[in-house]
Structure formats: C-alpha cells, structure tokens
Amino acid sequence: MNIEYFETSRVFKIDTNSTSYIMAVCDREKFLGHVYYGQKISDSDVNYLLRLNENPFVPSLNSRDRGAFLDSFPTEFSGHNVGDYRESSIEVIDKNGNRGVSLFYKSHSIYKGKKKLYGLPSTFAPDDKCMTLEIHLEDDVLNLEVVLFYSIFEDSDAITRSVKVINKSDDTISLTKIMSVCVDMDDDNFQMLDLQGAWARERQIEYRSIGHGKQSIGSTRGESSHQENPFIGLCDQSISQDSGRIYGFHFIYSGNFIAQVEKNQFDMLRITMGIHPDNFSFELQKNEEFTAPEAVLVFSSEGLGKMTRTFHDLYRNHLIRSPYKNKKRPILINNWEATYFDFDSEKLISIAKEAKTHGIEMLVMDDGWFGKRNDDNSSLGDWQVNEDKLKGGLKNLVDRVNEIGLKFGIWFEPEMVSPDSDLYREHPDWAIAIQGRMPSRSRNQFVLDLSRKEVADYVYESVAKILRSANIEYVKWDMNRQLSDIGSSGLAPQRQGELMHRYVLAVYDLQERLITEFPDLLLENCSGGGGRFDPGMLYYSPQIWCSDDTDAIERLSIQEGTALLYPLSTMGAHVSDCPNHIVGRTTPFETRGNVALAGTFGYELDITKISNEDKNQISKQVEMYHKYNDLVREGDYYRIASYRENHYFDCYMVVSKDKKKALVTYVQVRNRANAHVRKIRLKGLDPQKKYTVEGMEKAYYGDTLLNAGIVVKNMRGDSQSTLIYIREVEG
Ligand code: GLA
C-alpha cells in the first residue's frame, strides 16, 4: 500500500497490493485529470494516456475551443455547465440562480489513517494500516471547495472514495447534485453488471451491453431498494469467476442512489455513483459543508471471484463493527411464517419448548405483539405490548423463554406509522407528506418524518423502552414500505429537497444510538425482506434479512447475487415450511437446511406442527451449523457453478483462510434422465496439501482436487443437495 505525489509530473499514484489508481494535475489551469485505474503498474508518469499532446484544444494553447477540451478530457471530478456535456459530478445554484461549477486543483495532503465520515457509515482501520489522500479542488468564482478523499488498506485491494463540499462564500448556495465517484476511462468493450430484483426476488445478477449515451440503475424509493442494489460492475465480455477484468463500484449508503455508465462520442466511459439527484438539494450556508457518502472501488484482473473476496474481506474487516461479526450467531426460530399475526404467549412458549429440544438457541417474536395489531392494517407507532396476546406482559414471556434455555429476540418497524394508530391520530403531521396532499399508503402505512428531532426521539424511546424492560438480546429492525410523497412539515420550503438524505442520516443515528446503549444487542436489519441490503446498514448490523422468499431454490440465485458482494456472515437465511409460502414449491428439508447453512442460520416455521421426520433433521442441521459456521463466516467464498446459468445445479464452496478446511455445497435443482455422474473441480485449496474429502475413500492432493476434481454422488429427484466437508490430512 502506498500513496505518492510526484512533483515534476504532478502525478498522484495510489497503489494497493495489486492495483494502481493514477491522477495528474494538468495544464496551467490545474485541471485534475484521471489517468489510469487497473492492474498495478510500475510507472507513475503515464500522462500520455491523457492524450494532451494529441488534443488540439488544451485551453492554455487554444482558448478558442475550451468546450471541446472539457468535453473530451478524462477528468477526475466533472464540473457542470461549463463545456463538459457528459454527466456532472456536482451541481449548485448560487444566490443569483446561476448554475455552473468548474473545479481546479488547489492543494493536497497524504496521511496515515482515515477520517470518519460524520453521521455516515464508512470503512475504518487503525492508523498504521491505512492511508488517505485528500485532494482539494476549488471553484474560485463560487468560492466553493470540493475535497476528494481516497483511502487504501494494507490488507485490501479496495479503494474508498468520498467527497466533501464546503461553501466558503458569504452567500448561501444550494447543492443540487453531488456524486461520490466519477471515473473516466476508455471503453475496452466492457459490459455492465448489476444486481436487479423485486420484493422476494432480490439481487439477481444481470449483465448488459453498454451502448452510447447513459445507462443507469438507481433508487428514488428512499432506501437502497429491492429493485437495484447500489452496485455496478464493468467487466470484460469473457468475464468468469477466475479470469477477466472487472471494476466493481459499491456505494455505502442506504437511500436514493444512482450508478451510471455513460459512453460518449469518443467511446470513452464515465462512471458516476452517488446520491440520486432526483428530489435532492441541500442548502449550504457560509462555511457549511456537505459530506457525500463513501463508495468502494475494487478492480480485479482475476475474474469475479477475486473481486467478491476483496469485498467480503473489506466488509468483514473494515466496515462491520458489531461484536457479533466474528462470532457464531445464535440459531433462531422466528414465528413469522409459523403464526403470522395469530399468536399469544402460550403459542410462543410451545414453539420455544419444542425448539429447545432440538438445539435451537433463540426465539424471535415477529410482527403483531403490540397495539391492536392483528393484521397489517394498524398500530405501527404504538409500541405498547398487547397484553391480550402476551398475558402477564413481555418480561414475563421473556423470562419464561429464558428459563426454557432460549434467548429472546423481537421485531420492530420503528420508522413507520399506521393511519389507524394512536400515534397518527395524535400527530398526523409526523408522517412524511406533501402539504395539502394525502400521502399514498403502502401496506396501509405511512413513513415517519425522521428528519424531525421530536419524531426520531419518540421512535428511539419507543424501541429503547421495550429493550430496557426485559432481557431482549436481538432486534429485527424492519422497514416495510418505500418512501413517497416527499415533504416535511419540519423543513423550510427551500430545504424540502433535504428530506430523503436527512431521513437516511436519521435512520443511521437511531441505530447508532441503539447499539451504543445496548452494545451487546444483535441487530438484524430487514426491509420487506432484502430491500435495504446494502453496505451502509452493515456498519450498524452484522446481518440483514436476505429476502422474504425462503424457498431454497429461489434462494440460490438470491444468495448468489448477494454473495457477489456481501460476506455469507451477513446473509439472513432460514429454513421454512413447505409448500413454500411465497412460491408454493416443495423442497426436501435437507436442501432447505443446506441452503440456509450458507448464511446466518435459523428456522421460520411452526416447529410444533411439522412432521417428526422433519423435526429429527433439525438436530442434525444444528450440529452441522456448529461444525461449519466458523468456516462459512470467516472463510473465502468460491463459486463453482450457477443454477441461474446452467439450469441444473448450483455449487459453491468456502475455504478457510489457512486452507485446512473447506465446505462444498451442491444443489441439484433439476434431475435429468441418463445423466452422467457430475464432476466438479474444486477451488481455493492449497495444491500442495493433502485432503480427505467426505464420501471419498482415499486422500488426495489439492492439485488433484483443483484440476481433476471430484464426482458428486448421484441424486434422484429435483432439489436434492449435499454438503461435502474437506479437511487437510493431519501430520
Ligand atoms: C417483512 C419481513 C418479514 C416479516 C414481516 C412482518 O415482510 O421481511 O420477515 O417480519 O415484515 O410484517
């Protein structure tokens, strides 16, 4: 890891272990140019890549055609309305209503360590394990300073970027757009990769070709969303798990975002990523600053797999803070799919008792325990225990569950209010709404205006009061609708555009307060399944509910897409009952367990009602969880085959960092007649080590398993699966 400034060539060079990122200050006017990003290179001065000698429009030599220069120059952070017609990185409106930004290099500093992003999630490391470059740019007409931050880590190939805007003028300006990333590069015939989805079908891998003009994904829904994850990749057409180049861009933010690739007339690409400019503006008074969220850039020349493992390690080591991040999470049983709203203490106790006999460690009481909530039409906001359901109160229930020997967890949806609630009747103005317009309902609920301090404080106290009242060790923090009708009764007219961002900051602040007051709490985020599965939330909770679709086969592609970026330790995955409540498919209990074992493991079914045959398998799965979870949580993830691509089987493996242990998960989604017994080549093992492979009589060297592979036992039927444990031979 190194960051250096070369005075004579005016070059900044950022080197991670295997990548380089190079910028240069150009021309008399000090434009900051983007020179190179990719595989590590030895030279720093590769300024020929800027093509300035070939560019007849360089402003100091030709002021006639400044616009042509700006529209072709590979810039590090694009301005607005001064000649570059490609995507701007920043837009402002000054006191006279003018719009225009043009930024020039002013100064820089390079230091050990990394600053925190105030109020926002961000990566971290001890001072001697990371380095930061700050480049200060200035628009001297506006008196506006823009600081670009780049950080790198000793043990990672990731580069993080963030941006701060400071209004140094005496007048108020309105910031109407701010990107966190702008990267200009040549189009080497790349394709674009993203994770698209829907409720119960989140994070599906999608490739598309890049045409001229702009192609973007994003969210204007107030959360990162089920529909698009805040990630784009640019990769070779021939990308595979193990070969090909990919640039991955991931945004550490949980609200509106845009991630875009623009291909211009010269076949150059501009990649931008940041807060979505729709519905966004932020007023900056004299000396006020705005911090844009952090983004992570990962380049791999060794295929998708290496990019994946770089993101996994970065998030495990430098983003997730929870004390649980390196610990086995308690195996939980959640009553949502077991009972929905129809439960009482006795029902929960009967689930807990049965769960205990099979080694389950925690009972989670889901939606329906408060107010008059017997369906999803009421009571959000009224966080008082429903004592008709929980006779004797919550503490009594928690104590009884603890006596049985289980921990207790609880569900909240703190950000919401039902129109049919005491809270809404008392404070209708606390809901997000456009003045004079009745907001749209979704799941029959409104969103609370968390930008108002009194609302956020009410929400915090409601949750904290419950947590203080009993021995509650886990919270599932849900968010079941997306934002619309964006308006706040607490913000001045010219500040209405701040609401969406202030909302996200308030969610972060609430969760920060929660984990500060309850440092041992295991927090799991959730949003109608996986609608807010993003790196931002991982700063507060070590795990996120992956999807409301618990069908093991549907989960294969959901978990494949999720694991492209997110460590397995973060993926909420449970075994549920069949036929599956969302898709109606029946899958063997064993397969449901094998698929859920790739995440934070648990159950989501009425254990008092399932067959004895299924029940008996729970104890076996619990045993496997204890045996394999350290490996799954901490190991390196390798994808071997994708059911999404081959339509027959899915296969992935996890290898311990010391390469002594590995676990292969193989799921045969569809069987076919007269099929040859399948061979798979393993990955990630040490070629020189000798391993025993579960199901094989002799031990084999890693190079045999990597190259010749293993054969998978024949399985009759669809949705069959197996786990194969691999261990280094001792001695
Ligand atoms: C969301 C969650 C579910 C469940 C319900 C309760 O959909 O994803 O797991 O908690 O809400 O209403």
Cβ(223) – ligand 1 distance below 6 Å: no
Cβ(409) – ligand 1 distance below 6 Å: no
Tell the residue number behind the tokens 């599932």, with chain if given. 476
- The beta strands (E) that lie in 140-277 are given as 144-153, 158-167, 173-186, 191-196, 204-209, 213-219, 228-235, 246-251, 257-263, 268-274
Neighbours of 7 (CB within 10 A): 6
CA gap 620, 369 in Å, rounded? 32
Pair of tokens at residue 427: 């404070």
Cβ(411) – ligand 1 distance below 6 Å: yes
Mutate to test the pocket of ligand 1, among 548, 571, 580, 582 (most ligand atoms within 8 A of CB): 548
- Cα-to-centroid distance, 669 and ligand 1 (Å): 27
CA gap 11, 161 in Å, rounded? 18
Specify the pLDDT at position 542: 98
- Cα-to-centroid distance, 114 and ligand 1 (Å): 37
- Cα-to-centroid distance, 475 and ligand 1 (Å): 13
48: left (phi over 0), alpha (psi -120 to 50) or beta: alpha
* Start-to-end Cα distance in the chain: 36
Q: Between β-strands 407-412 and 289-300, what pairing exists: parallel, antiparallel or unpaired?
A: unpaired
3-state class of 600 per DSSP?
strand
Specify the pLDDT at position 676: 82
> Buried (b) or exposed (e) across 636-648, using 16+ Cβ within 10 A?
bbbbbbbbeeeeb
Q: What is the pTM assigned to this prediction? A: 0.98
Q: Which atom of ligand 1 is nearest to the CA of 527?
A: 8
Cβ(202) – ligand 1 distance below 6 Å: no
- Cα-to-centroid distance, 529 and ligand 1 (Å): 6
Peptide bond into 579 cis (omega under 30): yes
CA gap 186, 184 in Å, rounded? 7
Catalytic positions are 478, 548
Cβ(367) – ligand 1 distance below 6 Å: yes
Q: Which atom of ligand 1 is nearest to the CA of 545?
A: 8
Pair of tokens at residue 98: 């003018």
CA gap 529, 572 in Å, rounded? 9
- Cα-to-centroid distance, 342 and ligand 1 (Å): 14
CA gap 420, 427 in Å, rounded? 12
Cβ(197) – ligand 1 distance below 6 Å: no
| CB 276 within 8 Å of CB 257 | yes
- Cα-to-centroid distance, 351 and ligand 1 (Å): 19
Cβ(336) – ligand 1 distance below 6 Å: yes
Specify the pLDDT at position 77: 98
CA gap 229, 200 in Å, rounded? 14
CA gap 323, 362 in Å, rounded? 18
Mutate to test the pocket of ligand 1, among 366, 375, 543 (most ligand atoms within 8 A of CB): 366
Q: Which atom of ligand 1 is nearest to the CA of 548?
A: 8
Specify the pLDDT at position 225: 98
Cβ(614) – ligand 1 distance below 6 Å: no
- Cα-to-centroid distance, 528 and ligand 1 (Å): 5
Cβ(529) – ligand 1 distance below 6 Å: yes
- Cα-to-centroid distance, 198 and ligand 1 (Å): 15
Of all protein residues, whose CA lies closest to atom 2 belonging to ligand 1? 528
Q: Which atom of ligand 1 is nearest to the CA of 604?
A: 9
Closest C-alpha among 640, 567, 558 to residue 241: 640
Cα Rg of the chain, angstroms: 27
Cβ(370) – ligand 1 distance below 6 Å: no
Closest C-alpha among 133, 151, 178, 142 to residue 290: 178
Cβ(548) – ligand 1 distance below 6 Å: yes
CA gap 500, 512 in Å, rounded? 19
Of all protein residues, whose CA lies closest to atom 12 belonging to ligand 1? 367
- Cα-to-centroid distance, 624 and ligand 1 (Å): 27
CA gap 248, 246 in Å, rounded? 6
Tell the residue number behind the tokens 């939330």, with chain if given. 537
Cβ(718) – ligand 1 distance below 6 Å: no
Of all protein residues, whose CA lies closest to atom 1 belonging to ligand 1? 528
Mutate to test the pocket of ligand 1, among 223, 332, 335, 336 (most ligand atoms within 8 A of CB): 336
Cβ(480) – ligand 1 distance below 6 Å: yes
| 262 beta partners | 214, 270
CA distances from 553 to 204, 237, 560, 594, 680 (A): 13, 28, 11, 11, 20
Give the residue ranges of the chain where pLDDT is below 70. none
| CB 608 within 8 Å of CB 615 | no
Specify the pLDDT at position 54: 83
Q: What are phi and psi of 149, to 5 degrees?
A: -110, 135
Of all protein residues, whose CA lies closest to atom 11 belonging to ligand 1? 528
Closest C-alpha among 569, 570, 683 to residue 632: 569
CA gap 649, 715 in Å, rounded? 11
Mutate to test the pocket of ligand 1, among 334, 415, 478 (most ligand atoms within 8 A of CB): 478
Instruction: Write down all domains in the chain, each with its CATH number in brackets.
Output: 2-318 (2.70.98.60), 332-630 (3.20.20.70), 641-728 (2.60.40.1180)
- Cα-to-centroid distance, 21 and ligand 1 (Å): 43
Cβ(368) – ligand 1 distance below 6 Å: no
- Cα-to-centroid distance, 329 and ligand 1 (Å): 20
- pLDDT tens digits along 569-588: 999 999 999 999 999 999 99
Q: What is the maximal distance between C-alpha atoms in the chain? A: 83
Cβ(478) – ligand 1 distance below 6 Å: yes
Cβ(576) – ligand 1 distance below 6 Å: no
Q: Which atom of ligand 1 is nearest to the CA of 526?
A: 8
Pair of tokens at residue 127: 């001072």
CA gap 87, 194 in Å, rounded? 20
